Chains A and B, each alone.
Chain A
Amino acid sequence: MTYLESIGKYFLMIAEMFRKPTKWSVMKHLILKDIDDLIIGSLGIVAFISFFVGGVITIQTALNISNPLIPKYLVGFATRQSVILEFAPTFTSIIMAGKVGSFITSSIGTMRVTEQIDALEVMGINALNYLVFPKTVALMLYPFAIAIGMFLGILGGMAACVFGGYTTLDDYILGIQTDFDTFHITYSFIKTFVFAFILATIPSYHGFYMKGGALEVGKASTTAFVWTSVVIILLNYILTDMLLG
Chain B
Amino acid sequence: MIEVKDLHKSFGDAHVLKGISTSFDKGKTNLIIGASGSGKTVFIKCLLGLIDYDQGTISYDGKIYNELNESQKRDLRAEIGMVFQGSALFDSMTIAENVMFPLRMFTKQSKSEMEDRVDVVLKRVNLDGAHGKMPSEASGGMQKRVAIARAIVNNPKYLFCDEPNSGLDPNTAIVIDNLIQEITDEYQMVTVINSHDMNQVMEIGEKIVFLKHGVKEWEGSRETIFKTDNKAVTDFVYSSELFKKVRKMYLQENQ
Contacts and interface: CB of A to CB of B under 8 A. Distances in A.
A110 B90 CA distance: 11
A122 B82 contact: yes
A123 to B, nearest CB: 6
A26 B88 contact: no
B50 A123 contact: no
A119 B88 contact: yes
Contacts of A114: 86, 88, 91
Given A121-B50, A123-B78, A22 B105 contact: yes
Contacts of B91: 110, 114, 116
Nearest to A113: B86
Contacts of A22: 105
Interface residues of A, number: 17
B220 interface: no
B77 interface: yes
B17 to A, nearest CB: 19
A147 to B, nearest CB: 29
Contacts of A111: 90
Contacts of B78: 123-124
A118 B77 contact: no
Given A20-B74, A115-B88, A123-B78, A25 B50 contact: no
Interface in A104-154: 110-111, 114-116, 118-119, 121-125
B73 interface: yes
B74 A119 contact: no
21 contacts: A22-B105, A23-B104, A26-B105, A110-B91, A115-B88, A118-B50, A118-B84, A119-B82, A119-B90, A121-B50, A122-B49, A122-B50, A122-B82, A123-B78, A123-B80, A123-B82, A123-B102, A124-B75, A124-B76, A124-B77, A124-B78
Interface of B: 48-50, 70, 73-78, 80, 82, 84-86, 88-91, 102, 104-106, 160
